[in-house]
Amino acid sequence: MHRLYILLFVLLLIPLLSHAQSFPLEAALSAPYCSSLVTSPDGSAVGWIMEEAGIRTIYTASKPHFDPRLRFKSLYDDGQILGNLHFDHQSAYLYFVKGSAKNRVGEIANPSSEVEYPSRQLLRVNLDTDKLDTIGEYENYVISPDDSYLLLFQANKLEKYDLKSREIKPLIKMRGSFSDVSFRPGGEGIAFVSNRGGHNFIGYYGFGSRSIEWIGPSLFRDQNPVWSRDGKMIAFIRMPGQRKGELADITGGTEFSIVVYDMSTNEGSIVWSSPGEDGGFTQYYHDKPLRWTGDGDLLFYSEHEQYMKIYHLDLRTKDVSAVISGNCEVEHSDLSPDGSQLIFSSNCNDIDRRDLFIYDIDSRRLKQITNGEKIETNPYFLAGNQFIYRENGFNFPTRISIWSEAGIEVLFPRQLSVDYPESHMVKPKQVIFKAADGTEIHGQLFVKNESGTKPGILFMHGGPIRQMLLGYHYSSYYANAYVLNQYLADQGYAVLSVNYRAGIGYGRDFRRANKQGPRGASEYQDIVAGARYLQSLDFVDADKVGLWGGSYGGLLTAQGLARNSDIFKAGVDFHGVHDWSWRATDFSKGGFWGIDDELMDLAYKSSPVSDIEGWKSPVLLIHGDDDRNVMFGQSIDLAERLKEHGVHYEVLVLPDEVHGFYRYASWLRSYRATADFFDRFLIN
């Protein structure tokens, strides 16, 4: 009998011991994460941002050995982001901006609630001496070809900042606002976009001129001007002007053309036009949607053959061909300094990861240069037949690596802290299931072991124009989400991340799915299908399924709890939209989803708040009150409705925090609260 008591005691203790042996959340969440990779114009130097437990740093490395060198470090987890990195042409300085963009009332983010309110600053670091200079409260800049001055532009003003004298001279003041400022090869003038609301002009200013020269002004929205290498021509993208009552719609598309303008004859011609509404998304998703090749051809992004690809346009024959074939997409890309080669990341051959490919412009030959279970993104050419890129896997966060003929070398960080729980990370499994209407949906399943019976959790990304992958994500927001999914799996949950319709990676029709969002919430059936898949697994307790997500994922979390509390027993909603009709009236006109007066009723019926009567399950609402993407009031309104209906809800408010939290402390606090909430309502 004594032995039986001991055996029963040990059996009862096993779950507690297993829980105690799981990794601390902060051990993974605080791991170094590298982003914002840039190269110098000649490919001799590279720079990047690394964040570790909220401390933001900037590193550079230069040929021949590319040894990393620290250039800037924040003092603590202050939430002041870094970005807009650029080398000058001699690789003598690295410029960057510290601080966020402004909100609607002109404030940058202050998520650590500093009593001395921060300002956004343009800085540069001397790469020989490490001396840090503050240029001033600027954010948009272009470095002159001789590195002697900057062009600073904001709203309708463009100024010249002399780097030696530090004097500022006004150059242009015009109607509209500046964007896409670029120097003409040779440096005697600049091209830019003048944004005029319903139409845009391409402008040219020759230094010393009395007036602006307008490049083929029309009734259209002209954008993305790029100079030919000899400076004789400008190519740009032309889209229709805005019609009366037309609202911005993230789910829509537009026809577009490519125009080439001869600066010597002042004549332009359309060299290619899309066969349908194939533009819009590919032009704003990529920072360089149009490029000249070394031999005078053009490369451009388009979805006119269903998938987001780069196309090679031969200006002599007008032949257009994709640089890669198949039902897959091209994402990040870079053109070699001489314009002879294109390197890009793609999910071709591995739909839920990214690999790197090189396309030779002259021969039009394609070569895949990485494969396997790692995820490679953001490639850039370096001098000496090398290239640099971001690399991650299922058990290590995004790092910087260099490829050469000799092989692949990890540049930074070369190793992680001994506290990083690499051995605890489970390899997510690709799963494919079908929604009620037959749509094929991809997901990633995180399970530590398939024994026993465990609660299930669904995760939905935001955007919705995103794709979760079979490893760490190249976006820090989703890299953090990946960590939480791994942590929950380590805690004993079965976690399914759902790539629901409206996301990228699976083609234009999938991204622009019919009746999505405020037009019927068709994507919600993918969430139900994901839950049914989880419930079908032998090791999942079908009566204990929860869900969580942020932004659009928060919307879908609320949608699940409102429509199917019979399936979803608990949820954590990070800064979700809960009322589409309110977003269309208070956030912005149409809410960026084209929600007009005729659509308003359907938009409301497509919202979680319209099904509040069916909401029975508990929810945790997490929101920062300086959210610039989703109104903080969306959570206030939902909480009041839940209170009226007697639904249990809990709240975690982060004062002065933004949509994609800028502080490590905010992520850690929120994720701890999430895990605790699920433990209380799905396990205990």
Residue-wise pLDDT for 395-427, tens only, equals 999 999 999 988 999 999 999 999 999 999 999
Task: Name the CATH superfamily, with its identifier, for domain 426-683.
Answer: Alpha/Beta hydrolase fold, catalytic domain (3.40.50.1820)
Give dist(CA 148, CA 5) in Å, integer.
82
Angle (CA) 180 222 226, round 5°: 45
Residue-wise pLDDT for 486-498, tens only, equals 999 999 999 999 9
**What is the pLDDT averaged over residues 315-331?**
97
pLDDT for position 13: 41
**What is the pLDDT averaged over residues 28-35?**
97
Give dist(CA 401, CA 385) in Å, integer.
14
**What is the pLDDT averaged over residues 33-37?**
97
What percent of the chain shows pLDDT beyond 90?
A: 93
Alpha-carbon dihedral of residues 95, 100, 104, 107, nearest 10 degrees?
-100
pLDDT reading at 571 higher than 70:
yes
pLDDT for position 684: 77
pLDDT band of residue 21 (cuts 50, 70, 90) is low
pLDDT reading at 19 higher than 70:
no
Domain residue ranges in the chain: 426-683
Would you tell me the crossing angle of helices 476-490 and 664-678 to the nearest 10 degrees?
Answer: 30
Angle (CA) 249 551 652, round 5°: 150
- Unique residue bearing structure tokens 């349908």: 276
pLDDT band of residue 94 (cuts 50, 70, 90) is very high
pLDDT reading at 509 higher than 50:
yes
- Both tokens assigned to 44: 């001799």
Give dist(CA 501, CA 527) in Å, integer.
10
**What is the pLDDT averaged over residues 222-249?**
95
Gap between the terminal Cα atoms of the chain: 30
Please provide the average confidence, as pLDDT, over all residues in the chain.
95
pLDDT for position 416: 94
pLDDT for position 8: 40
- Both tokens assigned to 337: 């300094």
* Number of residues that make up the chain: 684
**What is the pLDDT averaged over residues 330-354?**
97
pLDDT for position 383: 85
pLDDT for position 405: 87
The pTM assigned to this predicted structure is 0.95
pLDDT reading at 1 higher than 80:
no
Alpha-carbon dihedral of residues 22, 574, 476, 625, nearest 10 degrees?
-120
